[in-house]
Structure 1
Amino acid sequence: MKNKIFVVEDDPNIRDIVTAYLKKEGYEVTTVDNAEEAWQMTRDSQPDMWILDIMLPGMDGYELCKKIRQESEVPIIIISAKDDEVDKIIGLELGSDDYLTKPFSPRELVARVKRIFKRVDVSLNSVTKINNELQLGELIIDTVDRRVFWGTKEVEVTAKEFDMLIIFIKNQNRAFAREELLALIWGDDYFGSDRAIDDLIKRLRKKLDKLPIETVWGYGYRMRSEIEESQ
């Protein structure tokens, strides 16, 4: 089955070039020139990946990224003429998986799309347990459907938050440097600062407040094997 990609870009030249390169690689591509219409489209169809421009008429790409993350963990690549580090950090903190600055090579975009899809596939198949679940106390991770539960309550997490949970639960009590977590989660070509890791940890602690993730000062983080049970 072809992976379906939604491309949201108001520049027709960039939109056509991106579409041509993605279709050549066998992807199913749907294009739209504004965020409002793109968001409405999700009522009828859900993509396997979003490619978003930031500077769009009406709702901008950041707002659309935020809305997508509130509903889904589908991968998001931001493409933008904004090349300041703060803009990239904002995009990552809103939950995007990658940020590509214009002008960019269409081949580089395709390579990043392939890398993200490959990473998602590996994450889906890298861990096998009874019933395809990992469990630590009341934390239950369904590695096939990529769902997270605390007891009987499902907890919504993004793709990056899920990947970090998998790393921690497979390596309990091991300390990870921030740089190592960046490489494991984003890949070796990550362009931003390690603030992205701190932000992921902050979000996980907010969603799973009893999760035993410890700060290793001046180094990174670890997750203990003992977990506090609910009262």
Structure 2
Amino acid sequence: MNQQIYLVEDDANIRDIVKAYLKKEGYEVTVTERAEDAWELAQSGQPNMWILDIMLPGMDGYELCKRIRQVSEVPIIIISAKDEEVDKILGLELGSDDYLTKPFSPRELVARVKRLFKRTELQPIMTTQSTDLLEVDHLKMDKAARQVFWEEKEIDVTTKEFDMLEIFAKQPNRAFSREELLTLIWGDDYFGSDRAVDDLVKRLRKKLHGLPVETVWGYGYRLHLQGEEE
């Protein structure tokens, strides 16, 4: 069965071009002009990926992204005429996996779609190559179930939040550069800014109160545990 993509875009020209390029690559594409229509359609089952415009009539793309993330970890790409960094960070905070600024090349969008699908397909293989349970201080992780427990309480996290926690928990007190974390979490062909790393850390600190992720100024981050230094 071909992978299903939901495209939500109110510009007919962009919608038709993107759909044509994606269908040429073998994807099944369902298009809607309004977020409300797309959300109603998704109630019968989530697609394999979402591509969302931000400026839509009625509900905007940010709100739709937020709703999707409440029920699914399916990959989301945001496309928008807004190119301010704050808009990109907001999209990432709400759970999008990528952000592409208009005007863009349809070929670049297709490349990003392929990259995201490749990463999600490889995740089950990566998680079965090591033990499923990981415990560090007050943090417990079940990699097979993709569950996180902080101080014995289960915490809902996104795919990338889980990936970052796993990286830190496997090597506590090791400092990771922003560039290294970008490659490990988003892949070596990620096109965006390393501010995505800062945003991910911010979200984890908010969800796991007291999580000792320290900023290594001018470099990156580490999970600092007392008494673990070599």
TM-score > 0.5 by shorter chain: yes
Give the deviation of 1:69 after TM superposition.
2.3
Give the deviation of 1:138 after TM superposition.
5.1
Match of 2:95 in 1: 95
The 1:200/1:11 distance shift into structure 2, 3 A limit, reads same
TM alignment of 1:1-231, pairs within 5 A: 1-127=1-127, 128-130=129-131, 132-137=132-137, 139-150=139-150, 153-224=153-224
Q: Deviations over 1:124-164 (max 9, x none)?
A: 3223334x343335534343443333476432112221221
Q: Deviations over 1:96-115 (max 9, x none)?
A: 11111222222111110111
The 1:140/1:121 distance shift into structure 2, 3 A limit, reads farther
Q: Deviations over 1:4-40 (max 9, x none)?
A: 2211111222222222222222223222111111122
Q: Is the 8 A contact 1:124 1:143 kept in 2?
A: no
Q: Is the 8 A contact 1:53 1:79 kept in 2?
A: yes
Give the deviation of 1:73 after TM superposition.
2.4
Unaligned runs of 5+ in 1: none
Moved more, 86-95 or 2-11: 86-95
Distance 1:152 1:3 in 2: 37
**Alignment TM-score, normalising by the size of structure 1:** 0.84
Give the partner amino acid of 1:163: D
Distance 1:141 1:120 in 2: 19
Moved more, 193-202 or 155-164: 193-202
User: What is the SS of the residue equivalent to 1:126?
Assistant: helix
Unaligned runs of 5+ in 2: none
Distance 1:187 1:78 in 2: 18
Give the deviation of 1:45 after TM superposition.
0.9
Distance 1:87 1:162 in 2: 23
Aligned length: 226
Q: Is the 8 A contact 2:182 2:197 kept in 1?
A: yes
Give the deviation of 1:66 after TM superposition.
2.1
Give the partner amino acid of 1:31: V
Distance 1:175 1:60 in 2: 38
Give the partner amino acid of 1:38: A
Q: Deviations over 1:76-121 (max 9, x none)?
A: 1011122233322222222211111222222111110111122223
The 1:3/1:139 distance shift into structure 2, 3 A limit, reads farther
**Alignment TM-score, normalising by the size of structure 2:** 0.85
